[in-house]
Chains A and B, each alone.
Chain A
Amino acid sequence: MRTWLNRQRLLIEYTVAALGRRRARSLGLLLTYTAVVFVLASVMLFTHALRQEAARVLAHSPEVVLQHLVAGRHALIPADYLERIPRQRGVREMTPRLWGYFYDPVVQANYTFMATADAPPPGHILIGPAMARARGVAPGNLIAWRAYDGAVHTFTVAGILDAHSELMSADLVLLGEDDFRGFFNYPEGQYTDIAIAVRNPREVRNVATRLSEALPDARLILRDEVLRTYAALFDWRQGIVLAILSGALLAFALLAWDKASGLAAEERREIGILKAIGWETGDVLRMKFWEGALLSGTAFLSGYVLAHVHVFHLHGALFRPVLQGWAVLYPRFALPPEIDPLQVLTLALLTVLPYTVAVLVPCWRAATTDPDAVMRS
């Protein structure tokens, strides 16, 4: 064991010296390599975080949303609609909701206004962290908006919403029902939609079917279906980026293969000398393994860390336009940092392994040739 450790230490020392001797080449390879890992890891981290975030958002949304359709278009829920919904078996709770969008020309962003039961007192609102940032307001400040009907409404900021899930709360404005109806001139007694909670989650589909039979002019939106659509959308976007990337990746692989397999004459000579003076093929391979592992390991680590900074601290500045479709609608939001061990492992296997193999194979060939050639070099 001691001997084994000593030997690895000596081999690593030799490797570091070898990398140092071929400084320009090693550095170039390291940089390219880091760049590739950086791009790959950025895409992975970004989509993963978005997906997690979407799941988190939807976890808070109702299992079923019921909308009223008129001529096939989403319309307001009429005042008597709630009574027309039969008391369904399996429905735990029905909550009529009031919400809408408001475009704020001052910060050029769209906000979601929502009336809630536990809203602040009349004339007061709760706002999302993104809006608080964008408009530079703190609790106690006043905000004035010119509503769609031209009238100016002034609200007092009662508090800032929890930033736990920014994708959800970033653009949110919570206010009382009367304030909401006043601001939007919303018809009394009518609602935007109805949120339905189901007693048994496995019964969602059956409950939805019974509801749509009872209310032919209603549209039912199931959370599970939205989740699936989101997942498909993210996978598709990630796919596009990966497809573009795979070209670059292939080029890199070829470069690495070429660099590694086109063993420099100098390197081949070195392997010959080592074998002649008593290194076994295994020793040479172990040394080369360390060389590949050190280089690709360093590149992997730095690429991954850079990607982490890029995605979670610089908000994925380079990929946002492609990966996040609704960026134009949303105010800026920050994704909570996520590290998925399986993802890290996949990335490591995708990058470290091929390179190490690409380095080892030609060396194995050089190392298994007869050492007597060294007498004639």
Chain B
Amino acid sequence: MSQPLIELREVCKTYNDGQPNAFTAIDGISLALEHGRISALRGPSGSGKTTLLTLLGCLARPTSGRVRIGDEDVSALPERFLTELRRQRFGFVFQQFNLIRGLSARDNVMLPAFPLGQPHAVLSARAQALLERFRLAHRADAPVEWLSGGEQQRVAIARALINDPDILIADEPTANLDTRLAEEFLQLMAELHADGKTIVLTSHDPLVLDSGLMHRIVTLRDGRVVDAQ
């Protein structure tokens, strides 16, 4: 077996650690996710899926345990390096999409690349190409709040891809979509997988879990892995 792309060892995450309202959302999870696979995290609401995604995606640091991305131990990296890592290797599609209102679709897509300081024209062209790929070219200049839910998600995916990351993270991607749009989303994921992207998503939607597209389904309950097929 090749070296896993993302590896968790005995990872715990306790919110409000040390305070009376401390809550352990992830309770000693060890998990290895391989390169180029599509993995799904499933489990009831409150089981810790989103928390686990934030640990995998370097949005938060574990309270204890180790997180490795590639051959780098990131659990103790300072925030600055985590940010750089996020920018280079991860693309995020949030549950609420989290686009910035008032900005056009194209500007939203360009945002993650701003800190890299590439020429505006280059960035703009790349964003336009991504929007075209997701059939949004005609909406490029529209403020994102004018777009439909499905369109907003495709803008969010385009934004996640602007820095050409190798890992795509999506939290409950189909929660706000109807069946047709959910199927369209899965179609996009299949294409991105074919491009070589590693994808980790959370879902309790049977449409996603039973689609046959998932290489792995990890089931969580109360912050522990109960089944990792």
Contact = CB atoms under 8 A, between A and B. Distances in A.
B189 interface: no
Interface string B123-160: 10000000000000000000000000000000000011
Given A6-B120, A279-B83, A280-B83, A370 B60 contact: yes
Interface string B57-94: 00110000000000000000001100110111000101
Interface of B: 50-51, 53-54, 59-60, 79-80, 83-84, 86-88, 92, 94-96, 98, 100-103, 107, 110-112, 114-120, 123, 159-160, 163, 171
A10 B107 contact: no
A59 B96 CA distance: 74
Given A10-B114, A20-B102, A375-B53, 6 more contacts: A10-B117, A281-B79, A371-B59, A372-B59, A374-B94, A377-B96
Given A370-B60, A375-B171, A376-B50, A277 B117 contact: no
Interface centre among A2, A7, A278 (most CB of B within 10 A): A278
B18 to A, nearest CB: 16
A84 interface: no
20 contacts: A7-B115, A10-B110, A10-B120, A14-B107, A17-B102, A17-B107, A21-B103, A269-B98, A273-B98, A277-B86, A277-B87, A278-B84, A278-B86, A278-B115, A279-B114, A280-B83, A280-B115, A281-B80, A281-B83, A374-B94
A70 to B, nearest CB: 81
Contact of B118 (A6, A18, A275, A276): A6
Interface of A: 2-7, 9-11, 13-14, 17-18, 20-21, 266, 269-270, 273-281, 283, 368, 370-372, 374-377
Contact of A375 (B86, B95, B101, B120): B95
A281 B163 CA distance: 19
Interface centre among B53, B95, B100, B160 (most CB of A within 10 A): B100
Contacts of A5: 117
Main secondary structure of the interface of B (DSSP, over half): helix
Given A372-B54, A372-B60, A278 B83 contact: yes
Main secondary structure of the interface of A (DSSP, over half): helix
A181 B27 CA distance: 109
Nearest to B111: A277
A7 B115 CA distance: 6
A280 B80 contact: yes
What are the nearest 7 A-B pairs in CB distance?
A: A278-B87, A7-B117, A21-B102, A3-B117, A372-B60, A372-B54, A6-B117
Given A6-B119, A281-B79, A372-B60, A276 B111 contact: no
Given A10-B120, A279-B83, A274 B111 contact: yes
Contacts of B100: 270, 273
A288 to B, nearest CB: 14
Interface centre among B98, B112, B116, B119 (most CB of A within 10 A): B98
A199 B160 CA distance: 84
B159 A277 contact: yes
Given A17-B103, A270-B100, A279 B60 contact: no
Contact of B86 (A7, A13, A276, A368): A276
B114 A283 contact: yes
